[in-house]
Structure 1
Amino acid sequence: MPAAFTPPARSRRQFLTLLGISAAAVSCGTATATNGSSGSSGKQITALKYQGNVGAVTLPELAADLGHLGNVTLEWVGNTISGPQDIQTAATGQTHFGSAFNGAVIKLAAGKAPIKAVVSSYGSDQHSYGGYFVLEDSPIRSARDLIGKKVGMNTLGAHYQALLDVYLSRNGLSKADAAKVEALVVPPVNTEQSLRQKQIEVGVLTGVLRDKALAAGGLRPLFTDVELLGPFSAGTYVMTERFIKENPDTVRAFATGVAKAIEWSRTTPREEVVARMTDIVKKRGRNEDTATLQYWHSYGVAETGGRISDKEFQLWLDWLGERGEIKQGQLKAADLYTNEFNGYGKG
């Protein structure tokens, strides 16, 4: 069994620097160079290195177990610590694909990393969503009430800070007032406790941690991401443009297989999906707790088969441009993704 991939801890400054990785740094990836011949010599790579998530089943893992990847196999190299870190390893060739919030994909692409999204990986719907919760007796009832307050989330400069900014903007706060809302990094496992002990006034809760916190009572949502934007696909699987060019059949098998897994997960009874995931986790033998799988409801992907559209990137292109993290007009949404290799629902 391969050893778990454990990247060194980094400060936010160092982390954002990594998102500005240069094209030169990703021009030759180790995974591509060491895992079979490229398409240019007639033989395509079919064993894909990737990172997983502890106690969870990713869409490619589900696709593989369902037999939807054809002759493509997966080679686990460890578990990721975050979405941006996951796509960084794909960009540098340590893995063949990675998944992250689309805003993080944009930032990596803006740093000249030659990557492209090939299929959606997660999103928000009525079952799987991120909520911004306050104590039940909190005086916070509106966006303006957040001025001067602390909002805890898993990381800064990513999905949940972006949604907070969108919420503040749509509810009429000026940039000056929005800047007075303090976003703080709070580990998800500590968010509920920090909120109840009033170390923060608002906490972002998702998945099993959200369900457990709500079951304990005393909390109410200020807003949720799905209320704010409607059902939407929030993240994508990306690969390098070089890998896509040299291994088109593999990419097609991967994207279409993931698409089929998305549709299987939403058309199959939830109990059957959870049972299948539990079996997958047990079979891989990584000594993981399967308890959290009982709280799984959906992957949240909005579009049929995870097919990508401009709107899934344009919102975050505008947000990053307004924040000055990328140049306005530097990137076009259509240049960040391709549906060419996703055969599910094509046309």
Structure 2
Amino acid sequence: MTYHTRKLLLSVAISIGLSGSAYAAEKIKFRYLTSQGGLSAHELAAELGYFDGTGITIENVGYATGGPASLIALASGDVEIGSAATSAVLNSIVGGNDFVAAYPSNGINDQVQSIFYVLEDSPIREIKDIADKSIAVNTLGAHLDYTIREALHSVGLPSDAANQIVVPGPQLEQVLRSGQVDVSAFGYWQTTFEGVAKQNGGLRAIFDDTDVLGDIAGGFVVLRRDFIADHPEAAKVFVEQSQRALDYAREHPEETKALFAKALAERGENPEIAKFFRGYGVRPGGQAVDRDLQFWIDVLVREGKLKEGQLAAKDILYTADAASN
């Protein structure tokens, strides 16, 4: 049976509520940490009922302060799902964790990107001006951290020339307006917070991550390789239905915002910010390409954290066929 045939049969089984198929033979709970102001594709898939009848349930066990914290929880076995920027995922793998990049959690493109804002009267106008300035980011060692490093490198400055300060997403606007930082970086996964800040006025964008990185996956949902080996069918269904939810979000943006608002309300967060959600920015089918990982592998080689040829994208990208073997 081909991969596409299996995927079609699974979709049919879910749509008519079958529970006795091979896809529902194993009951598996996937625990995860959620992100403030965010909604992952697997959370959306659950809201849409895509896991109904599959034996899969997902359980939110708290909030992650950032991608690295999510990966630590994954490595320790506290959760089955991790989610982090590609650079953080690769650093974790280099550090000895046997993780697999299951599907792109988000992408950056002309519609969805991380944006670096200053106050309108700030003297900061371009990338070279951020040297020696303070920049608010949600966490260190992840996407915004490495985007800043790459931005500085692109204009011939030391990659550590800016001072990065960790600030939770909901406070990014506040610390910028109060003058506690010179720049606030709103990640591609924080378009809800960025939308509110932009609506309030008085801010100016100086650059975004597509200016530095181009169109690329921003991060990945990550599974442990041993978990995939122990539960290949569950892993396959989880990935396929999460990718299906990514397609749904692109094709039904308003319906997705409504589900996003519902999920935020249930978590005790402000549902109004869901209207600023701009999508996940991933390719059709929720697929990754080698460059999504290879770009950052090459950066780690340049920084001396990896040897040339030590790691390749194909070594860590999830494939359905690999999960079946």
Taking structure 2 as the reference length, the TM-score comes to 0.81
Determine the structure 2 residue equivalent to 1:9.
Answer: none
Cα displacement (A) at 1:49: 2.1
Determine the structure 2 residue equivalent to 1:181.
Answer: 162
Whole-angstrom distance in 2 between the partners of 1:185 and 1:79? 16
Deviations, residues 234-259 of structure 1 (Å, cap 9, x unaligned): 11111111111121110110010011
Change (3 A) 1:95 1:132: same
Change (3 A) 1:281 1:158: closer
Cα displacement (A) at 1:271: 2.0
Whole-angstrom distance in 1 between the partners of 2:165 and 2:70? 22
Determine the structure 2 residue equivalent to 1:19.
Answer: none
1:234 is aligned to 2:218: yes
1:68 is aligned to 2:50: yes
Cα displacement (A) at 1:110: 0.8
Determine the structure 1 residue equivalent to 2:8.
Answer: none
In structure 1, the residue corresponding to 2:320 is in which secondary structure? coil
Whole-angstrom distance in 2 between the partners of 1:237 and 1:112? 18
Matches within 5 A, 1:260-271: 260-268=244-252, 270-271=253-254
In structure 2, the residue corresponding to 1:109 is in which secondary structure? helix
Whole-angstrom distance in 2 between the partners of 1:259 and 1:305? 6
Change (3 A) 1:134 1:321: same
Change (3 A) 1:130 1:198: same
CA contact (8 A) 2:260 2:274 kept: yes
- My pick for the range that moved more, 202-211 or 43-52, is 43-52
In structure 2, the residue corresponding to 1:273 is in which secondary structure? helix
Determine the structure 1 residue equivalent to 2:291.
Answer: 311
Matches within 5 A, 1:162-177: 162-171=146-155, 173-175=156-158
Give me the identity figure in percent.
31
Deviations, residues 256-275 of structure 1 (Å, cap 9, x unaligned): 0011000011011x222112
1:147 is aligned to 2:127: no
Determine the structure 2 residue equivalent to 1:38.
Answer: none
Deviations, residues 117-140 of structure 1 (Å, cap 9, x unaligned): 111111223333211112222222
Q: Which one of 77, 83, 99 corresponds to residue 67 of structure 2?
A: 83
1:295 is aligned to 2:279: no
Whole-angstrom distance in 1 between the partners of 2:42 and 2:322? 13
Cα displacement (A) at 1:48: 1.9
Determine the structure 1 residue equivalent to 2:184.
Answer: 203
- My pick for the range that moved more, 249-258 or 114-123, is 114-123
Whole-angstrom distance in 2 between the partners of 1:241 and 1:330? 18
Change (3 A) 1:325 1:119: same
Determine the structure 1 residue equivalent to 2:118.
Answer: 134
Whole-angstrom distance in 1 between the partners of 2:43 and 2:137? 27
Change (3 A) 1:265 1:288: same
The one-letter amino acid of 1:272's match is: E
1:275 is aligned to 2:258: yes
Deviations, residues 58-93 of structure 1 (Å, cap 9, x unaligned): 211211232323332223322322211112222222
1:46 is aligned to 2:28: yes
Cα displacement (A) at 1:325: 4.1
Cα displacement (A) at 1:196: 3.0
Q: Which one of 28, 32, 41 corresponds to residue 59 of structure 1?
A: 41
Change (3 A) 1:342 1:241: closer
The one-letter amino acid of 1:297's match is: R
In structure 1, the residue corresponding to 2:222 is in which secondary structure? strand
CA contact (8 A) 1:107 1:326 kept: no
Whole-angstrom distance in 2 between the partners of 1:146 and 1:77? 37
In structure 2, the residue corresponding to 1:297 is in which secondary structure? coil
Cα displacement (A) at 1:293: 1.6
Cα RMSD for the two superposed structures: 2.4
The one-letter amino acid of 2:241's match is: G
The one-letter amino acid of 2:133's match is: K
Determine the structure 2 residue equivalent to 1:96.
Answer: 80
The one-letter amino acid of 2:47's match is: D
CA contact (8 A) 1:44 1:246 kept: no
Whole-angstrom distance in 1 between the partners of 2:177 and 2:268? 32
Q: Which one of 113, 119, 124 corresponds to residue 103 of structure 2?
A: 119
Determine the structure 1 residue equivalent to 2:174.
Answer: 193
In structure 2, the residue corresponding to 1:122 is in which secondary structure? strand
Unmatched 5+ stretches in structure 2: 1-24
Whole-angstrom distance in 2 between the partners of 1:55 and 1:193? 16
Deviations, residues 4-41 of structure 1 (Å, cap 9, x unaligned): xxxxxxxxxxxxxxxxxxxxxxxxxxxxxxxxxxxxxx
The one-letter amino acid of 2:139's match is: T
